[in-house]
Amino acid sequence: MKFLNDKVTRRDFLTYGLVVAAFIVVSLLASQGVIPRSLSGQLVPVTCYVVMAISLNLVVGVAGDLSLGHAGFMSVGAFSGVVCAMSLSAAIPDDGIRLAVSMVVGALFAAVAGFLIGIPVLRLRGDYLAIVTLAFGEIIKEVVNCLIVGTDAIGLHVIFNVAGDKTVDDLHLLEGGVAIIKGAQGASGTEKIATFAAGFVLVMIALAVVLNLVRSRAGRAIMAVRDNRIAAESVGLSITKYRLIAFVVSAALAGAAGALYGANFSQLSPAKFDFNTSILVLVFVVLGGLGNMRGSIIAAVLLTILPEALRGFSDYRMLVYAIVLILVMLFTNNPQLKLTLGKLLPKREGAVAHGE
């Protein structure tokens, strides 16, 4: 196989292999009942966070745009996915297919949201971009907070509860109708149709989409725009187009992850997808290394599992994240610290020099 001689391709296949191996091992352990209950409940959320980290890494690591509103797209995907899954429960009896359809719907809605937000937001860069994406993340949360959605024999009923004076009764659902999203309460009574296998498939798809994109003509253009905007323009690249491609693909993947996440819980509140979640995912990306998909996966798995395994410390979780984030930033961006670290850890010296 000639293409395996390529260093980059080999590295990508190692990443795929790692995910497959992890899935097989965890599935085997789960079937033996070795995994404690508190952790087995985390299997699907872990895959969701892995997909979130991979997709955010496309924007932050590959395209070089700091986005702080990634949870917003997860929210769009989660709630559109929940609405889709519940309104189609009669039409598509098979759980697996319904889950797949709701993930596709979640991805589409999030992609549209990403496109609409991306057009104004991607006129900015750096700090300004970060602040505006943060704002849009919060706006999405508030918009979902106002949504009241129900379904009955006629179809979907949607109320936009801006004044805060409307309730589920205002949907005027027919007999046998179900309220799906109840404003700030979020969605409740949803079926738990998400499975670990579906999560694994989604991780593989997300990984394939992002890695294939990065290794293609469009991916080179995205990285070129990140490295040097002026030079990228001078060789005929449309800056906005390629930043938008990265942003929309990333939003779509986050939407699919959100739909899977929503299908894993019987109760889902819009407040779940707030600024903290965006930062959490950003921590995965930064810890795993910008542009390093394998690192993002490992960081997402470890940092989601660890707090569950050490439940007693979960109060300090955000504090620890903040400290870890600061330390990693210092160690990766401060040449003096890096030098000191290199002296302390002689084995890593070569790796650090090579990584630079």
Partner 1 sequence: MANKFNFQRARMVPVPSRAIVPDRDLEHTPALECIHLGIEFGGLKAVDDFNLTIGKTEIAGLIGPNGAGKTTVFNLLTKVYQPTHGTILINGQDTSGKSVAQVNRMGVARTFQNIRLFDSMSVLDNVKVGLHNQEPYSAFEGVIRAPRFWAREREFEERAHELLDIFDMGGLASERAGSLPYGAQRRLEIVRALATNPRLLLLDEPAAGMNPSETAELMENIVKIRDTFQIAIMLIEHDMSLVMNICEGICVLNFGRVIAKGTPEEIQSNETVIEAYLGKQKEAGTDE
Residue 2 or 343: which CB sits closer to partner 1? 2
Least Cβ distance, residue 65 to partner 1 (angstroms): 15
What is the distance between the alpha carbons of residues 281 and 253, in angstroms, rounded to a whole number? 13
What is the distance between the alpha carbons of residues 66 and 129, in angstroms, rounded to a whole number? 7
- Are the C-beta atoms of residues 46 and 299 closer than 8 Å to each other? no
Least Cβ distance, residue 246 to partner 1 (angstroms): 10
Residue 59 or 193: which CB sits closer to partner 1? 59
Residue 138 or 349: which CB sits closer to partner 1? 349
Residue 167 or 216: which CB sits closer to partner 1? 216
Residues sharing a CB contact under 8 Å with residue 56, sequence separation 6 or more, in sequence order: 67, 70, 250, 254, 281, 282, 284, 285, 296
Residue 90 or 230: which CB sits closer to partner 1? 230
The structure tokens listed for 123 are 């006129």
Least Cβ distance, residue 351 to partner 1 (angstroms): 15
**CA dist list (Å): 3 to 9, 10, 205, 339, 350:** 7, 8, 21, 37, 27
Residue 25 or 208: which CB sits closer to partner 1? 208
Least Cβ distance, residue 108 to partner 1 (angstroms): 15
Interface with partner 1 by CB under 8 A: which residues? 7, 208-209, 212-213, 215-221, 223-224, 227-228, 230-239, 245
Residue 310 Rama label (left phi>0; alpha psi -120 to 50; beta):
beta
- Are the C-beta atoms of residues 55 and 250 closer than 8 Å to each other? yes
Least Cβ distance, residue 119 to partner 1 (angstroms): 17
The structure tokens listed for 224 are 């070129």
Q: CA nearest 67: which of 12, 148, 127? A: 127
The structure tokens listed for 248 are 């929309």
What is the distance between the alpha carbons of residues 91 and 97, in angstroms, rounded to a whole number? 11
Residue 135 or 239: which CB sits closer to partner 1? 239
Q: Which residue has the tokens 């990228």?
A: 232
3-state helix, strand, coil in the chain (%, to 5): 75, 5, 20
Give the bridge partners for 151, in sequence order.
Answer: 156, 178
Residue 98 or 226: which CB sits closer to partner 1? 226
Least Cβ distance, residue 25 to partner 1 (angstroms): 28
Least Cβ distance, residue 232 to partner 1 (angstroms): 7
Least Cβ distance, residue 327 to partner 1 (angstroms): 23
Looking at residue 171, the DSSP 8-state letter turns out to be G
Residue 238 or 334: which CB sits closer to partner 1? 238
Least Cβ distance, residue 104 to partner 1 (angstroms): 15
Computed on alpha carbons and rounded to an integer, the radius of gyration of the chain in Å comes to: 21
